Amino acid sequence: MADRDLWDERRRSYESEYFQRRERELIEKMRARARELAEAHEMGQATGISDDEVLKALHDLGYTRETVTLVHLVPLLQVAWTDGSVSAAERAGILEAARLRGVEESSPAYRQLVGWLEKKPLDGFFEDSLRLIGDLLSAMPDDARVEARTTLLAFALAIAEASGGILGIGPKVSKEERTAIDRIAREMEAAHGAAVKQVGR
């Protein structure tokens, strides 16, 4: 009988421990979800984006309210990294583009950008960010979208040309860089097409 009582006591102890652990896990999940929602809300306020799916995608890619301003600079990074490294001229051009977008040297966004300049992000990060930019552009009014697209492509081309050619000899833009720019342009065109379809509904 004593053995049975001991077993019942242990079983109750194990059950109590299990449910307490499950409760802690659920509470932590709820807290994490609350933090994620708060981050998305703050990111939406910082960018003016109200689309929950876009905000979640930005969050999933690692953007925060402090670094979301970098999303439109990612195509420039993609072009700069196509040759396997970022030259001093390309780095200077990207940092200048960031300054023009209001990224201050003391900010988390600047530190993140410097990190990306020093260590190449994963290729999937570039592609996913580019698709997000397309989504963001498709939500813009026509004139703002055209201006943003033109500016982005002009900056991308300037970055590609920054360290191209040797002593003025040879192509300023490599084949790989041209391919990357064409890919960016296609994504921007897709954004324009999506916006036109939305208006036509």
Per-residue pLDDT tens for 78-119?
Answer: 999 998 899 999 999 999 999 998 999 999 999 999 999 999
User: Which pTM value belongs to this model?
Assistant: 0.68
- Six-digit token pair at 120? 């190449």
Helical pair 142-162 and 175-200, crossing angle rounded to 10 deg: 180
Residue 51, phi then psi, degrees to nearest 5 = -75, 115
61 conformational bin, left if phi > 0, alpha if psi -120 to 50, beta if neither: alpha
- Six-digit token pair at 44? 């939406």
Per-residue pLDDT tens for 108-160?
Answer: 999 999 999 999 998 789 989 988 888 888 877 888 888 888 888 898 888 98
Question: What residues does each domain of the chain span?
Answer: 1-48, 52-200
Residue 166, phi then psi, degrees to nearest 5 = -120, 120
